[in-house]
Chain A
Amino acid sequence: MPFSPTFAWRDSRSARRRLLLFVASMALGVAALVSIRSFAESLETAVTEQAQTLTGSDLTIWARRSFGKKDKALVDSVAQAYPGEQARELAFASMAFFPETGNARLTEIRALEGRFPYYGEIVTTPDSAATTYQQRGEALVDASLLLQFDVEPGDSVRVGERTYRIAGGIDEIAGQTGVGSFVGPRVYVPFAALDTTLIGFGSRVEYRQHFLFADADPDAVLAEIGDRLAVQSLRGETAAGAQQDWNDALGNLNRFLSLVGFIALLLGGIGVASAITVYVRQKADTIATLRCLGATAGQTLRAYVLQAAALGLVGAVLGAVLGVAVQTLLPRVLGPFLPVSVNFAVSWRAVAEGVGLGLAVALVFALLPLVRVRRIPPLRAIRPGAEAEDRFDPLRWAIVVLIALGVAAFAWTQTGDWRAAVGFPLGVGAVLGLLALAAWGAMAAVRRFFPESWPYTWRQGLANLYRPGNQTLVLMLTLGLGTFLITTLYLVQTSLLDQVAITSEGERPGLILFDIQPDQREGVTALLDAEGEPAIAQIPVVTMSLAAINGLGTDSLRQDSTVNLPDWALRREYRSTYRDALVGSEQLAAGTFIGSVPADTALVPVSLESGIAGDLGVGVGDRLTWNVQGVPIESVVASLRDVDWTRVQPNFFAVFPTGPLDAAPQFDIVLTRAVDAETSARLQRSLVEAFPNVSVVDVRLVLGLIEGVLGRVAFVLQFMALFSILTGLVVLAGAVLISKLQRIEESVLLRTLGASRPQVGQILFAEYLLLGLLAATVGVALALVGGWALSTFAFDVPFVPSWGAVLVALLVVPALTVGIGLMGSRGVLRRPPLEVLRAAG
C-alpha cells in the first residue's frame, strides 16, 4: 500500500470533526446547484413531453384583428391541403355579470367553435360540462370565480347582452399557467352564441384558427405558409415553436438561478479554502516531522490532497442529497407560473454534475492553501516556528489561473457572452485586489496613527491587526468577499423586484373603464356622477400602427436583414392618446412637449416614450408615419418622455397633441376612484347593466393578483439567496476560526502573565470587532458598486440600493465575527492556562 493514502486515512481520523466546516461549505454549495439543475431538467422534460398541450393543436394561426377575406382563403387552403379537424376561437376581455348574486367582474372571454383543445383537456366540474356546453349554448366559468361570487353550475352568467346557463366550473386547462392573465379569470362560451357587439371597434380581440392534421407535419406546413402569414400579418404557432418559446423563457430563469447556485458554490469554495488554511496550519509540525523522516513534498501533498478529495466527495454527496430534497419543494413554489405540470424526478445528470463540479471546486480551492504543504521546511521539527521562504510559487499561481478560467468557463456556458466570461472572474479578482488593498491600507493606517491614549485592551486588539502573524489580510479577503457576494446578490434582487413593484404613491384610481365608445361618453359620465363617483380622468385612445420610419416602410424595414429593429415594435398596434400636458407618471427626457396644434397640421409633433424610441432607434427630429384606421398621419418626434410604468394608470408609448386626432375613430378610458370594495362592486354592476361593452378593471383586485405573483417571485429569489447566506455564514465561521488559532496561544500567555478573563475577552472583542467592521464596510461598499454594475449592465434595470440591507450587512457581519470569534475562544477564557497549554502541546 502506498504511503499517502494510508497516512491520509489514519491522519484524518481525529481531524474529521475539525473539517466539518469544509464539508458544510461544499454541501450547501452543491445543494443549491443540484436542486436548481435537477429542477431545470425536470421542467425541460415536462415541457418537451407536454409540448403539444402548450398550443393544444398541431397548428394555430392567429391575429389581433378579425380575419379578412384573404385570411379566410389562407385558412381554407390549409384545411384543404392537409385534411383533419379545425376549431375557431375568439379571445377578448369583457365584463361577466352574475344575475343571481349581482356580481360583475372583468373576465377573459373565450368563444369557441369545434372540439378544442385537441391535446390536453379542459378539466371541469362536473366532468361532462367540457364536452356538452357548446351544443347546449352554455358557459364554462373559472372555478375560482364561481367560488369568489358564490355562484354554482346551473346559475347564469351574462356576457354582453347574452345570458348563458353555467354548465360547470373550469378546474384546469392543460398548457396554460395557473396564474392566467392579469385581465381576469376565463369564461368559455360557444362561438355561435356570442354577442358580437362586444367585439366591435376598439376591443382587443384575438382571432385564432386551430388545426389538427390527420398526417401532415405541422412544422412543415408552417414553413410552407410562413411567407404568406408574414405578408398578411398573421402569426402561426406549432407545438415545437411554443416549446422553443417556453424553453427560451425558462432558459433565462435557469440562467439566473444557475448564477445564484454558482455563487453559492464559489462561496463554498472560499469556505473550503479557509477550512484548509486552518488545517494546514495545525498540521505544519506533523508535516515538518514527516519531511525529517524522509517524506518527499509530493508524498505529503498527496496525503492531504487525498483527505481534501475524500471530504469534498462527502460534502458533495451530502449536498446532492440535500439538493434533491430541496428540489421537491421548487415545483410547489413555482407551479402556478408553469404551463406544464412538473413531476418530481431525480435528475441523475444534475446529481452527477453537482457532485463532479462540487468535487472539482473543493479540490481546486483546497489546493490553494494545500500547495503550501510542499514548502513547510523540515527544519521546523527542530526549530519551532520556522516558516517557509516567501518565494514565488508557480503552482499556486497556476491554481489561481485555473480558478479564474473555471469561473470564466462557467459564466460563458451560462450566458454564451464572452464579455460576461471575462468580466465575471475579472470582477471577482478586482474585488479581491481592492480588499487586499484595504487590508494593507488599514494596517498601515493603524500603525501610523496608533491611538496611544486608548485603554490597554483596545490598544492590544488594535495592534493585533498589524503584528507579525496577523490575520487582517486573510479575514479581509474571506469575510469581505463573502459579504460582497451576498450583499451584491441581495441588492440586485431588490433592484429587480423594485422594477415590478407597484408604486402606491399619488392618486390611484379604484376602477379603470375601457372601451367607452364616443356615443357612450355622456351616459357613462352621467352614471358615474349619479353614483357619486365622478370620473377623475377621461382619456381618449386612438389605435394605430406604425407605417414608416423616416420614410422607410415598416414592412421593408422588417425584411431588411441589415436593419436590427425588434419585429414586435414595428408590427404592434399602438394605442395612443392626445392631450395638452404631461401627467404625473411622466418626465420630459428630451426635446419639447408640444400640447396643442391645429387639426390640419401636416407634420404632427409627437412625444415618444424613451424606451420605445430606443427600440425603434429614433430620437427627437426623426419622422414617423402612422396608419390611423387607414389614414396616414405624418409626425415628427418632438420630445421623449420617461414613463414610470409601475404607476397604476394608463400610460402610452406615443402621446399626440390635441387637434389632429380629435376626429379620429377612438374610444375612451375613464378613471374613477371607487373608494372601497363595496362601491367598486356596485359601480361595476351598474356599468355592466347599462353599458355591457365597457370593460372595468378593478385595480384593487389586479394589484392583489400582481402582489401575489411578485410575492412568489420574491420568495423564490430569497429562498435561493438563503443558500448563499448559509454558505456565507459557514465561510465567516471558517475565516474567524483561522484567526482564533493564532490568538489562542497569545491569550493563554496573557492569562499566564496575569491577565483577567474579561481583559483577554476585551482584547479579542476589540480585534474581531475592528476586523468585522472593516471587512463589512469594504465588502458592502464594493457590493454597492457591484450591484449598480450588474443591475445597470447585466439586468438592464435601474439600480435601487436597499439601504436596509446595507445596514443589516454592516451590523450583522461584525456581530457574527465577534460572536463566532469569542465563542471559539470560550474554552481558552474559561479553562485554567496550564490545562490549555498542555492540551496544545
Chain B
Amino acid sequence: MSLALSARHLTKTFESGSRRLTVLDDVSFDLDDGATCAVVGPSGSGKTTLLGLSAGLDRPSSGSVVLCGEALEDLDEDARARTRGRSVGFIFQQFRLIPTLTALENVMVPLELRGERAHDAAERLLDRVGLGDRTSHYPAQLSGGEQQRVALARAFINRPRILFADEPTGNLDAETSSRVEDLLFDLNAEAGTALVVVTHDLDLARRTERILRLRGGKLVSDEAAHPAALPSGNGHVIRAEEPKSRGDGAS
C-alpha cells in the first residue's frame, strides 16, 4: 500500500516585527491510501496550518510534504494546483460554494477545470447526497446542511486519493452534523479515499481510525481512535515519528 500523504518535520514560523512566532513545530506523520485520521487540538494549536501545508495551500518554513506521490516543495503554485485538482478533495467549515454557480455547476467545477465532461457524474453525486431535486439552486437558496452536502459531492467528483476536511460540521447543528458526517464517511469508504479531518469535535474524531493531537504547534500524541479495535502492527496507521529535538526544525 502506498502513501497518500507524507509530512516530514513541518515547521511554519511567522515574523512579527522583531519576534518570530512558531505556529507549527517539527511535525511529521504519514497516511496510507484509504486511511482516515483526525487532527485535534485547542484553538491556535496549528491544526489549520498543518492542513494548509499538507494540502499544498501554503509553503512550510522548513520540512517537506509528499502528497499523492508528488514532493510539493519541487512544485510551483500552478503544479500544486494541478496536483490538487487531480488527487485532492476539500471540505471547508464555511462550505465555500461559489455563490454565482448553481449546486450542479459547483459540483462540476473540479472536473471542468481538467477539461472533462462532468454533468452526469455531478448529477449522480447530487442524487447520492440527497439533493437530486436541488441541482439548479444557488447556494444562497440552500440551508447550511444542504450547502455542505453539495460541497461533499464536489469533493468526491474527481475521485480524489485524499480528502481534507476542515471542521466539516463546525457550522452545523447536531442533527445536520450527524447526517453530513454519515455521508462523509460513507462516500469515503465507497471511494476508498484517504481522509484528514481537522476538528474540535471529539465524537467526529473518533469516527476516524487515528487521532493526531496538536498543542502549541507540536504533535503531542498520535494514537488509534479505537485502540482495542485495531490489530497490532496494523497496515493502515503509520505511527508518527518522534519529533526531532527542538534545535533543528524550528530555527
Q: Spell out A's residues near B (CB within 8 Å).
A: 1-3, 6-7, 10-15, 285-286, 289-299, 377-379, 381-384
Q: Which residue of A lies closest to B171 (CB)?
A: A841
Minimum Cβ distance to chain A for residue B125 (Å) = 14
**Binary A-proximity of B49-80 (CB < 8 A = 1, otherwise 0):** 00110010110000000000000000001100
Which residues on A sit within 8 Å (CB–CB) of B96?
A: 285, 289, 292, 381
Asked if B90 contacts A293 (CB within 8 A), the reply is yes
The answer for the CA separation of A292 and B82 in the assembled complex, in Å, is 10
Which residues on A sit within 8 Å (CB–CB) of B99?
A: 14, 286
Also in contact, A295 and B101, with CB within 8 A (given A285-B96, A383-B48, A383-B52): no
Q: Spell out B's residues near A (CB within 8 Å).
A: 48, 51-52, 55, 57-58, 77-78, 81-86, 88, 90, 92-94, 96-101, 105, 109-110, 112-115, 138, 154, 158, 166
Also in contact, A299 and B57, with CB within 8 A (given A14-B99, A294-B86, A379-B52): no
Minimum Cβ distance to chain A for residue B180 (Å) = 18
The answer for the CA separation of A381 and B48 in the assembled complex, in Å, is 11
Asked if B92 contacts A11 (CB within 8 A), the reply is no
A382 interface neighbour in B82, B92, B138, Cβ under 8 Å: B92
Which residues on B sit within 8 Å (CB–CB) of A378?
A: 57, 81, 84
Q: Which residue of A lies closest to B166 (CB)?
A: A382
Minimum Cβ distance to chain B for residue A703 (Å) = 63
A296 interface neighbour in B52, B82, B138, Cβ under 8 Å: B82
Asked if A11 contacts B100 (CB within 8 A), the reply is yes
Which residues on B sit within 8 Å (CB–CB) of A293?
A: 84-85, 90, 109-110, 113, 154
Asked if A384 contacts B94 (CB within 8 A), the reply is yes
The answer for the CA separation of A12 and B48 in the assembled complex, in Å, is 32
Asked if A7 contacts B90 (CB within 8 A), the reply is no
**Sample of 15 A–B contacts (CB below 8 Å):** A3-B112, A3-B115, A14-B100, A14-B138, A285-B96, A286-B99, A291-B81, A292-B90, A293-B113, A294-B82, A297-B78, A298-B78, A378-B84, A381-B90, A382-B48
Q: Which residue of B lies closest to A285 (CB)?
A: B96
Asked if B113 contacts A294 (CB within 8 A), the reply is yes
Q: Which residue of A lies closest to B160 (CB)?
A: A294
The answer for the CA separation of A1 and B154 in the assembled complex, in Å, is 19
Minimum Cβ distance to chain A for residue B51 (Å) = 6
Which residues on A sit within 8 Å (CB–CB) of B85?
A: 293-295
Asked if B113 contacts A3 (CB within 8 A), the reply is yes
Minimum Cβ distance to chain A for residue B157 (Å) = 10
Minimum Cβ distance to chain A for residue B112 (Å) = 5
Which residues on B sit within 8 Å (CB–CB) of A384?
A: 94
Which residues on B sit within 8 Å (CB–CB) of A285?
A: 96
Asked if A294 contacts B100 (CB within 8 A), the reply is no
> What 5 A-B pairs have minimum CB-CB distances, sorted nearest first?
A294-B85, A296-B78, A289-B96, A378-B57, A379-B57
The answer for the CA separation of A3 and B154 in the assembled complex, in Å, is 16
Minimum Cβ distance to chain A for residue B89 (Å) = 9
Which of B88, B112, B158 has the largest number of chain A CB atoms within 10 A? B112
Which residues on A sit within 8 Å (CB–CB) of B77?
A: 297
A10 interface neighbour in B48, B78, B93, B100, Cβ under 8 Å: B100
Q: A285-B96, A296-B78, A382-B57 are in contact. List 5 more A-B contacts (CB 8 A).
A: A294-B158, A295-B81, A377-B57, A379-B57, A381-B57
Which residues on A sit within 8 Å (CB–CB) of B58?
A: 377, 379
The answer for the CA separation of A13 and B100 in the assembled complex, in Å, is 7
Which residues on B sit within 8 Å (CB–CB) of A2?
A: 115
Asked if A294 contacts B115 (CB within 8 A), the reply is no
Asked if A292 contacts B57 (CB within 8 A), the reply is yes
The answer for the CA separation of A292 and B52 in the assembled complex, in Å, is 10
Which residues on A sit within 8 Å (CB–CB) of B83?
A: 294
Asked if B112 contacts A11 (CB within 8 A), the reply is no
Which residues on A sit within 8 Å (CB–CB) of B101?
A: 10-11
Minimum Cβ distance to chain A for residue B9 (Å) = 20
Which residues on B sit within 8 Å (CB–CB) of A10?
A: 100-101, 105
B98 interface neighbour in A289, A297, A298, A299, Cβ under 8 Å: A289
Asked if B48 contacts A294 (CB within 8 A), the reply is no
Minimum Cβ distance to chain A for residue B116 (Å) = 10
Q: Which residue of A lies closest to B51 (CB)?
A: A382
The answer for the CA separation of A295 and B154 in the assembled complex, in Å, is 14
Also in contact, A286 and B100, with CB within 8 A (given A293-B85, A294-B82): yes
Q: Which residue of A lies closest to B117 (CB)?
A: A1
Q: Which residue of A lies closest to B157 (CB)?
A: A293
Asked if B109 contacts A382 (CB within 8 A), the reply is no
Which residues on B sit within 8 Å (CB–CB) of A379?
A: 52, 57-58
Minimum Cβ distance to chain A for residue B5 (Å) = 16
Minimum Cβ distance to chain A for residue B162 (Å) = 13
Which residues on B sit within 8 Å (CB–CB) of A294?
A: 81-86, 88, 110, 113-114, 158
Which residues on B sit within 8 Å (CB–CB) of A11?
A: 98, 100-101
Which residues on A sit within 8 Å (CB–CB) of B86?
A: 294
